[in-house]
Structure 1
Amino acid sequence: MVEATPMLLSARSQHQGKHSVPFSVKGVPLVNRFIGRDAELQRLEDYFHPKTPGPTRRKVFVTHGLGGIGKTQLAIEFARTHHSRYSAVFWLDGSSKDRLEQFFVEAAYRLPLDQVTADIAEALKQSKDIDVDIVVEGVLRWMSLPSNQHWLLVIDNVDRDHLSKDKDPQAYDVKEFFPLADHGSILITSRLASLQRYGESVKVDSVNDKQAKAILENNADKPIKDADLIIERLNGLPLALTQAGSYLRYTNMAALDYVKYYDSTWGDLMKKQDRFPLQEYAYRSVLTTWTISYEQVRDQSEEAASLLKLWGFLDCRDIWYELISTADLGENMPGWLQRLGKNKLEFSDALQVLTHYSLVDAREETLSYSMHSVLHAWCSQLAEHEERETLCWVAAGLVASIVPKEAKSEYWKIQKRLLPHGSRVYRALDENCSEPLFTTSNWNATPWIFFNLGVLFDHHGRLNAGVRMYLRALAIYEKTLGVEHISTLDTLNNLGVAYSDLDKTDEAERAYMRALTGYEKALGADHESVLRTVNNLGNLYQVQNKPDEAERMYTRALAEYEKAFSAEHKGTLDTVHNLGILYTDQGKLDEAERTYMRALAGYKKTRGIDHEATLRTAINLGNLYQKQGKLDEAEKMYLQALAGYEKTLSTEHVLTLRTANRLGNLYKNQSKLNEAESMYMQGTSRRKRRD
């Protein structure tokens, strides 16, 4: 990383203050060797930091050009070199609307605690079902504060054209994600020249021969005799030069031999060019260099070559060992994938082959691997015909089979990591698999894939996608297992939850009632699945502002839980907790207090003082005490929750920080300003360590 010069440190001290956010490279793509681009870097510096400063206005700069030309590397180098000039630098992945919103959520967790408004704080408290719209709006509002003018926002890979006739559901207008205030700095990288309309711009073009030789030889790790012959063919495209250099490094091939191989491979590719519809590549270089490397990989490792094909149906970022090793596809698990999953050494060897040829990058911070988005598009075209559909299902099965249950510790972390892969699989299924999907010969058990993908999307607020997955699972279960099978009924119950979250309350009620009727017939009136659905109906009626119906459902569930199980069963205590929420909303504060106290005592006894359910109830009871004016009791509850979160999660986890913030607000309302400041500062310092 480039060290800050004294001038930059001086600029930093000028702009640091209450809006300061520590610089972090987390989530920023890996760049091992940055070569040249002095002219483009100077353009950026002259625009964002002119020698004669003008009035404070928002500055937007767009770097555009071919994929693989070096736009992202240029933006990274600028941000790393000049971060000291800014109070905050946020790197956002703009490759899709989902990815952009996810990175906004990550940015929100880095904001100073005492500057987060109540709505964004409440949204971020959720370990699942985060309201992304509120979070995005909150981050943009923070950037628009009149006193907060010295941030840099980098939005990388804004490549989807929202004005295209072929509507892309993940395309968006990047301007909608600009803060409203007329200040701050925004740097965009894109393949779309049309984005020049938003500000100043520079086209990132091919590197010159001197820079090309430096890239080639740096990746080859040695001087290359006759390098000019390769440079002539690769047209100054950095991504192709990187591939060629890596190939020469690990095969020890001479440049003359590489050129002969290149020319013959290019001729074969042109005969099959329809298979690789990367229209933006007028250059022959990138397809040819990838193909040469792929053929070498295929000769060395069947597992590595097959994984490259499969990767085209997953997200291009973050492939890690457990994604494969913990998957269970039964007889549908290809032999090569079984070998990678059973032996971490086999997995590491395969990825090392791909890394050697610069087809993938290792990410040490997450012990995972990623690849360039343009290379990823090429990988998705490697498989043909039936193999495409099979690999699509394998990818879907990999993701679906490791979607964790809520009972699993910190399940939301795994789900969050899986979401980009789930989104890619969601699109791939539509693009590559015939209807009706359950007729695919080797995948006659596909409903569980749709069901688990529905769970993944549902838990991350992708409710429409979740509903669509549940509906597909439901159709297959009904056809293959019958309308009264437990799997069918479980899908109906989850569908009801998703509909409820979408405020489609009529559809939710119908789904719940179908599930309830089926469960009662198949399992009896006091089965746990029946009572879970009754409890869900209570939640729905509460949302519909039908408190009497909600209370009736909760009371029924509570009575049956106590009769069939015990007063301390998980379902019993969860229903008691829900009743506490209902009573609070109704203003029945004494009843709510008694109910929360019962739930809290039960959770402590059966699940421990530091269990998530115990701590959640303590927080709700603390909130209730605040409403009742029992501030000392509220403090005790918050302190209990804070200690529990610090012990079981970490001092830097978002729930710990939010609880510290609640305590700070409580002390502030009590005019205990020193205690409030201490709690706010404690949360802020922890957040800095977390970043």
Structure 2
Amino acid sequence: MATQRQAAGTGAQGRDGEHFVVVFAGFHRPWATWIAHRLESHGHRVTLHRWDPRREVPLESSIDDLLLASGRILLVLSDWFFQLGPRREGEWSAALRGIVAAHAERFAAVNLTNRALLPATAVLEPVDLWSVGAQEAERRLLTRLGLPTGGARRPLPAGPGSRYPNDPPAVWGEVPRRNVRFTGRDDLLNGLQQHLMDAEQGTAVVTLLGMSGIGKTQMAAEYAHRFSSDYDVIWWINSDTRGTLRERLGELAPELGLISGSEPGERIRALHEALRRGDPYGRWLLIFDGWDDIESAEDMLPEGPGHVLITSRNRSWSDSRTTLVEIPGFDRHESTGYLMRRAPRLTAAEADEIAAELADIPLALVQAAAWLGESDMEVADYLRMVRDGELSELADQGGFDGVPRSSLTSWSILINRLREDQPHAVELLSLCAAFAPGRIPIGLVRHLPAAELPEGLGWLATDLAAWTRALDTLVNYSVVTRDTRSALAGEEPGPEQESVHMHRIVHDIVGRLTSPADRETHRHVVRSMLAAADPGNPQDSRLWPRYAELLPHLEPSGALTSRDARVQETVLNLLRYCFRSGEFRTGTALAEQVREHWSEFHPPEHPRMVELTTQQGNILRAYGHFRPAYELDRTLLERLRATPGHGGTRLMTATSCLAADQRYLGQYDEALQAQREVLETALELLGPDDYLTLLAQHNLGVGLRLLGRYTEAYEIDLETLRKRETLLRARHASTLVSAMACARDLRLMGRYRDALARQELGMRIHVQVLGPQHPQTLRARHNLLLCERRAGGLADMGGALASLLEQTEQVHGRRHYATIGLIVDHGNYAREHGDLAQAKDLIAEGEAGFRELLGPAHPISTGMLSNTGLILQAAGERSEALTMFEAALAGLTATLGPDHPWVLGCALNAAGGRNFTGRIESALELSRDTLRRSRHALGEDHPFTLSCEVALAMDLRGLREHEEAGKIEEDALQRLTRSLGAQHPHTLAARQRIRPYWDFEPYLG
């Protein structure tokens, strides 16, 4: 396959330049493209020719074909080049001494290896480019070709292939080591590169799809190495679980110098923005390996000028913005070439017979080649065992993703022969099978004391030489590959940090070939390893990468069924990690698994089950699954109350969890009563200054706020804040929560300036302590924007809301209650400032989201009807708007009572709707009643009360009661000017006699 590369520019200089054909093995494409780029910069024409002559074609004929091209032929040599075919050394030597020597003036060569080449290559006088810098390599290249080295260069763009291959990309992210035995796939790789380069910005996403063992990961890794000079950033992301995917993706952010925080959502948002802008690098490649669970794909996939490569078995990627590339088995010549290179004793006929038997599946060929290359077994004997189905009962068990019986038998032969010859290697291999497939932190076993290991396995921790030999054996036989990436930054690499990668097919086969007794022994060891590796502090975000590494191995190791106290505490810590890190979906599934297993040996009131319920409820609640959390917590509380001896803090915690559920479900009165019980118990058992007492006090403030009792909530929150500042200090996360609660109270009390001043300070500390994208920081920023809106500041409020919505969606997803609440506030602002189309879409989305999440009878779902009414009213559909206002008013009155601020807000809108539809007397009656109730509930100087006065004046004026209207209007204007200022939007609107309205800000607590 030849590719002509014309020199930049035109004219005499281009015509005077020489023509070179650069001949290379696909493995060395980066060098070939760099050589072409350098020659073109000196005014020469270059044709790239990837060369892989078929074994059945005589080598002399293939070289003769090269001579048909015009110009000189430059061979890019390495030991890999002479394995093409493959061909015997004598055949190469004969061709070099014959055809090449006869045309020596046409041929030249560069050498890319420090290993000895064939003696006959001396005729080519290859110049060594190994381990020299770019300038020296260019000088040697030009000198060998007899070209001047000091001439002026043509400026060429720094495009694909222009970087010197010995200079790695600026960021290189744990791409697997290059497989020096990688075979074939040249057309697939070249087509993949061409597609990515030609794709429009934002569409360069390709998914390599295929069955297990077909070579998807190897192809992705080879693409990264082969085309590394096309990119400035290459980042590999193990995507077996959502947790590891998010952690690994987020780790790219600090590598690009974006942020230093540890929270994954914060990093991912900043990373996506940087990748979208192409700043600091526009030429980036992200590789998501093993991404089968695609539920959150749209949130994770970046956009921008770079490229994305995915490997997966999930055909549902066809519904996403990606191009699918089906990865087939090897072509037959690729299969035989690989077998003969790995096991040189094989003849072409034998290699063809083996490839046919194994259906050209790469993983099966890797194993067969490794075994036949390392052992002296006759090919006929090997094929007989494969065909006779030795240990072929594996195939009858099913579950091997379409892998042929012959391949399974071949793996069985290898593992059972290793069991005879290398018992330590098989013990280590069986231990790996007690982990989950994929990346396995096998080095953790060396942290265990030998006394804690079962008899016969003590060597794993004490005999480093045996450990090294066993691991080397497994690598040599291609059973596992090494992965030395450390889980935590700052750890020195060594045996304790060593990891391997085990293919899922190999993992399954080894597990089924291990005896039940040995399997349980190895699972016990892994459980002990996981407990020993538990950092013990899931609240510390710096330790989250270690927890993400441990999480996939809980189930296969049997940790979920373990009765060991240390293992159970590790399981609980991983649930706490899921809650703290925002891995709610993973945590929900894990908690349900743990409950299913622990229920077999723990009664529901056991301390471990109580703690499990607490963590499961926390995760469900944070995930927005309020009803399941409520049922879980209610059942536990009823059981604890009915069982003697379960009072005290355990009962207090269960009551607190149920109160939280009730708040989210809109059962505000019941929640407040339960929370008062919690606080009373905490004060009695723990005292006023305990952490749990202050948490109970804070939650009491939340309950009062939801009931519209803002002044009482503020008094509670202020007391909690002062105590937390003393006991926990001002920069503690819980102290920041209390400060945010106080700011929220002040805003709802109508003290907008005080609220804004407090929240501005809290916002700065949130960013410093937790980072800009932490979920709590996002809540603080949301509250800050609401404070700024009520205070009448911030010119670009719409832009700020849109930016925050994007960040919140990145962290929580579009359907999370925090995101939906922000969607509503953004829609309210858009309507208020004239963008009715955007407002209509946002409010409709918000109303549907809350209705789906909370049900139609929840106070928030009901209150949303009022926002929908404001949209209809702005669109001129006044009768329909009034229907919405009246429905919201009736519904909230029934659930919250007539004096709740939300009810008063609905009444204000309903009075306006009645006025606009000509029902002036009815509007006046409702306005008088609303003003009276607002004065009682919120105070005479509250901005909402003053809005009620303005509305009443308008209704009076509509009935020609001008004297009373004037007095009420004047009083409202004076109070608004005094409390908010003459230039505040509320004051200006009142002076202009614009009908006041109330938009609903949904708040779940």
Fold match (TM-score > 0.5):
yes
Q: Which amino acid is 1:639 matched to?
A: R
Q: State the match for 2:655 in structure 1.
A: 534
Distance in 2 (alpha carbons) for counterparts of 1:194 and 1:610: 46
Of stretches 614-623 and 458-467 in structure 1, the one that deviates more from structure 2 is 614-623
CA offsets 1:553-594 (integer angstroms, 9 cap, x no match): 333333332332233222123223334444555565555555
Q: Give the AA of the match of 1:44.
A: L
2:553 counterpart (406, 416, 421): 421
Distance 1:8 1:287 in 2: 53
Residue 564 of structure 1 pairs with residue 685 of structure 2: yes
Determine which of 77, 101, 107 is the counterpart of 2:222.
77
Alignment deviations for residues 95-145 of structure 1 (CA, whole Å, 9 cap, x no partner) = 6xxx25863675478689xxx9xxxx99936x9xxxxxxx99x99999999
Give the alignment partner of residue 362 of structure 1, picking from 462, 477, 482: 482
Q: Contact 1:600 / 1:614 at 8 angstroms: preserved in 2?
A: yes
Residue pair 2:174, 2:235 contacting (<8 A) in 1 also: no
Point out the more displaced range, 464-473 or 399-408: 399-408
Q: Does 1:522 align with 2:660?
A: no
Match of 1:469 in 2: 594
- Work out the CA distance in 2 between the residues paired with 1:515 and 1:216: 69
Question: Match for residue 508 of structure 1?
Answer: 632
Letter in 1 for 2:636: Y
How far residue 374 of structure 1 moved from its aligned partner, in angstroms, is 2.6
1:553 is matched with 674
Give the secondary structure class of the aligned counterpart of 1:533: helix
Aligned with 1:381: secondary structure? helix
1:179-223 CA-partner distances (Å, limit 9, x unpaired): 899999765545689988985645433256578656875x78xxx
In the alignment, what sits opposite 2:185?
37
TM-superposed deviation, 1:72 = 2.2
1:205 aligns with 329
CA contact (8 A) 2:232 2:283 kept: yes
Which of residues 413, 425, 439 in structure 2 aligns to 1:318? Answer: 439
Contact 2:354 2:383 in 1 (8 A): no
SS in 2 for 1:380: helix
CA deviation profile, 1:434-478 (whole Å, cap 9, x unmatched): xxx8xxxxx7x4799788657645644232442342143134223
CA contact (8 A) 1:9 1:84 kept: no
Q: Supply the distance in 1 between the matched residues of 2:684 and 2:235 (Cα, whole angstroms).
A: 54
Secondary structure of 2:513's aligned partner: coil
Letter in 1 for 2:684: K
Q: C-alpha distance in 1, partners of 2:540/2:203? A: 44
Q: Quick check: 64-73 or 191-200, which moved more?
A: 191-200
Task: Give the AA of the match of 2:645.
Answer: A
Q: CA deviation at 1:36?
A: 3.9
User: What is the letter of the counterpart of residue 43 of structure 1?
Assistant: G
CA 1:36–1:66: 2 relative to 1, 3 Å: same
1:317 to 1:551, Cα distance in 2 relative to 1, 3 A:
same
Which residue among 265, 271, 276 is the counterpart of 1:124? 265
Alignment of 1:266-665 (within 5 A): 266=386, 269-274=389-394, 277=398, 278=400, 280-282=402-404, 284=406, 287-288=409-410, 291-292=413-414, 295-296=417-418, 299-302=421-424, 304-320=425-441, 323-324=444-445, 334-336=454-456, 340=460, 350-366=470-486, 367=497, 368-384=499-515, 399=530, 409-410=540-541, 412-422=544-554, 424=556, 445=563, 453=571, 456=574, 459=579, 460-461=583-584, 462=586, 463-478=588-603, 485-494=606-615, 496-497=617-618, 500=621, 502-503=625-626, 504-514=628-638, 516-517=640-641, 521-524=644-647, 527-583=648-704, 585=706, 595-603=716-724, 605-607=726-728, 611-614=732-735, 628-630=752-754, 631-645=756-770, 655=774, 662=781
Cα distance change of structure 1 residues 511 and 372 upon mapping to structure 2, 3 Å threshold = same
Q: State the alpha-carbon separation in 1 of the partners of residues 681 and 300 from structure 2.
A: 53
How far, CA to CA, are the matches of 1:144 and 1:473 in structure 2? 46
Alignment partners' CA distance in 2, 1:468 and 1:595? 39
Cα offset for 1:309?
2.4
> What is the DSSP-based 3-state SS (H/G/I as helix, E as strand, rest coil) of the residue aligned with 1:68?
coil
Checking the alignment, whether the CA contact within 8 Å between 1:454 and 1:467 is kept in structure 2 is no
Q: Could you tell me the percent identity over the aligned residues? A: 20
Match of 2:998 in 1: none
Provide closer, same or farther for how the CA distance between residues 517 and 279 of structure 1 changes in structure 2, counting only shifts above 3 A. closer
* Amino acid of the structure 2 residue aligned with 1:470: R
Report the CA distance between 1:604 and its aligned residue. 5.0
State whether residues 613 and 633 of structure 2, in contact with CA within 8 Å, keep that contact through their aligned partners in structure 1.
no
Question: Secondary structure of 2:390's partner?
Answer: helix
Are the equivalent residues in 2 in contact too, given 1:233–1:285 (CA < 8 A)?
Answer: no
Contact 1:541 1:550 in 2 (8 A): yes
The 2-side partners of 1:606 and 1:362 are apart by 49
Gap change, CA 1:611 and 1:634, over 3 Å in 2: closer
SS at match of 1:369: strand
For residues 59 and 189 of structure 1, the distance between their equivalents in structure 2, rounded to whole angstroms, comes to 14
Larger RCO: Structure 1 or Structure 2 (Cα < 8 Å, ≥ 6 residues apart)?
1
Give distance in 1, aligned partners of 2:696 and 2:477.
Answer: 57
Shift of residue 43 of structure 1? 1.9
Count of aligned pairs? 599
- The structure-2 alpha-carbon separation of the partners of 1:469 and 1:100, relative to structure 1 and needing over 3 Å to count, comes to closer
**Contact 1:61–1:201 (Cα < 8 Å) also in 2:** yes
Listed one character per residue, the Cα deviations across residues 261-289 of structure 1 (whole Å, up to 9, x for unaligned) are: 74575367535343575473448457525
In structure 2, the residue corresponding to 1:522 is in which secondary structure?
coil
Task: Report the equivalent of 1:103.
Answer: 245
Cα RMSD over matched residues? Answer: 5.9
In 2: Cα distance, 1:488 partner to 1:57 partner: 48
Work out the CA distance in 2 between the residues paired with 1:529 and 1:208. 67
The one-letter amino acid of 2:500's match is Y
CA spacing shift, 1:510–1:191, aligned 2, 3 Å: closer
Tell me how far apart the structure 2 counterparts of residues 122 and 586 of structure 1 sit (CA, whole Å): 33
Q: Gaps spanning 5+ residues in structure 2: where?
A: 1-27, 38-155, 163-168, 487-496, 808-1005
C-alpha contact 2:694 2:724 (8 A) present in aligned 1: yes
Structure 2 CA distance for partners of 1:29 and 1:258, relative to 1, 3 Å: farther
Q: Residue 419 of structure 1: CA displacement? A: 2.4
- d(CA) in 2 for partners of 1:541 and 1:615? 24
Q: 1:491 Cα deviation (Å)?
A: 4.7
Q: Determine helix, strand or coil for the equivalent of 1:476.
A: coil
Q: 1:559 & 1:11 partners in 2: Cα distance?
A: 69
The code of the aligned residue for 2:479 comes to L
Give the partner amino acid of 2:635: A
SS at match of 1:49: helix
